[in-house]
Amino acid sequence: MKVEVNSRAFADATEWASRIISARPTVPVLAGIKIRAQEGLLLLSTFNYEQSARYQIDAGVDEEGTIVVQGKLLAEIARMLPTDKTYLVTEGSRLAIKSGKSIFNLQLMNETDYPQLPAIPQPIGSIDGRLFADAVSQAIVAVARSESRPVLTGVRVTLDGGQLVFCATDRFRLTRVTVDWNPVQPNIQASLIIPGSVLKDIASSIDTAQNVVIGYDDVEANLLSFDNAGRVKTSQLIDGEFPNVDRLFADEYPIHAVIEKQSLVDALHRVSLVAEREAPIRMEFTGDAVRLSAGTADESQASEILAADLEGEPLTVAFNPMYLLSGLGAISEKYVRMKMTTAIKAVEFNGQKDKSGEPSLAYRYLLVPMRFIG
């Protein structure tokens, strides 16, 4: 192999591809990045049996070839290269990396030991990159961190004709995000549970100016793929039954309150300073105001009053402040509408552009209140 490549592009490619390399791979060769040089392209790929990552960049290829080298080390070297051009040359069982006056020599791994990557599934549709990234960032708010129930570490994505519905829950909160997309088959219907960590990683690194092409294979490997700007990632889906969460949204909410979102977020940060870890923040709604409070009579206390438009009977509810702030942080509109039934039943949060307007149901956040004394 003999290749000339742009150093920045090479660094981006190795960093992205090496993300899925495990610190303790099941077989030693999976610690490597597989690099293939052919026809003006450098193709980098990694695999861990659950996910695969592929990235191709333009390159000046004088001699074609395929090699495997230590992935994490290569990414660190690529990140530190001193000039705009990098030259990759294989010499026997070693790879020489040259950039400016810097020269690195890495021992090659056995390319024939590297397992075959899964085939990329056929495309089933595409979605705007920015829309996809925003939807994922809203949905993963409620993904469970504990792996005691694997399905809750995933996001259920329902393919319903021209809409994608992202849903996640950790049993204390629930997110539901609805976005438009462009399916290959206009009447497609499917429900997939995708690892939340996979979606988060993809959304954080995609080129939002380009579409994300989604591929799906439900016959052979129950495999999903995401293709964006030369980067392709495949992932196994999570097996299991996702909870029937749609029934948790109330058909009617007798109590509504509209609050300016940023004012609420700022007040929550201030009031929560006196709250013990995971202690509740109380929200007392009366007429045209809401009083936030935290702490107890024999400890530190804080309170703040904000303007709020209330429809329905006065009510006091309490929330885990971290859960409340994470849900509010995913709302992009200026105002937030809280829809309530009782002090102990789940509260729905929606964003809305105008104070007197209608709430958006594109993002729905459901949060279970905490019990409180006094």
Strand partners, 339: 256, 348
Q: Please tell me the distance from the alpha carbon of residue 176 to that of residue 185, in angstroms, as a whole number.
A: 23
Roughly how many angstroms between the first and final C-alpha of the chain, as a whole number?
73
Of 20, 21, 58, 19, nearest in space to 42 by CA: 58
> Cα separations (Å) of 332 from 2, 142, 358?
49, 17, 15
Q: What are phi and psi of 367, to 5 degrees?
A: -130, 130
pLDDT above 90 coverage of the chain, percent: 92
Query: Quick one: pLDDT at residue 20?
Result: 95
3-class SS shares of the chain: helix, strand, coil, % to 5: 20, 45, 35
Average pLDDT over residues 172-200: 96
Q: pLDDT-based confidence at 211, cuts 50/70/90?
A: very high
On the question of pLDDT at 237 being above 90, the answer is yes
Query: Quick one: pLDDT at residue 372?
Result: 77
Segment 100-145, tens digit of pLDDT: 999 999 999 999 999 999 999 999 999 999 999 999 999 999 999 8
- Taking the model in full, what pTM does it have? 0.92
Q: What is the mean pLDDT of the chain?
A: 95
Query: Quick one: pLDDT at residue 374?
Result: 57
Q: Would you say 106 and 69 are in contact if contact means Cβ atoms under 8 Å apart?
A: yes
C-alpha atoms less than 13 angstroms from C-alpha of 366 in its C-beta half-sphere: 22
Query: Quick one: pLDDT at residue 371?
Result: 86
Helices first, then strands: H and E counts in the chain? 6, 27
Q: pLDDT-based confidence at 218, cuts 50/70/90?
A: confident
Segment 20-61, tens digit of pLDDT: 999 899 899 999 999 999 999 999 999 999 999 999 999 999
Segment 163-177, tens digit of pLDDT: 999 999 999 999 999
DSSP letter string, 318-369? EE-HHHHHHHHHT--SSEEEEEESSSSS-EEEEEESSTTSPPP-SEEEEEPP
Tokens standing for 35? 């690099």
Segment 65-76, tens digit of pLDDT: 999 999 999 999
Sign of the torsion angle spanned by Cα atoms 346, 350, 354, 358? negative
Delineate the domains of the chain, giving CATH numbers in brackets.
2-113 (3.10.150.10), 123-246 (3.10.150.10), 250-367 (3.10.150.10)
DSSP 109: B
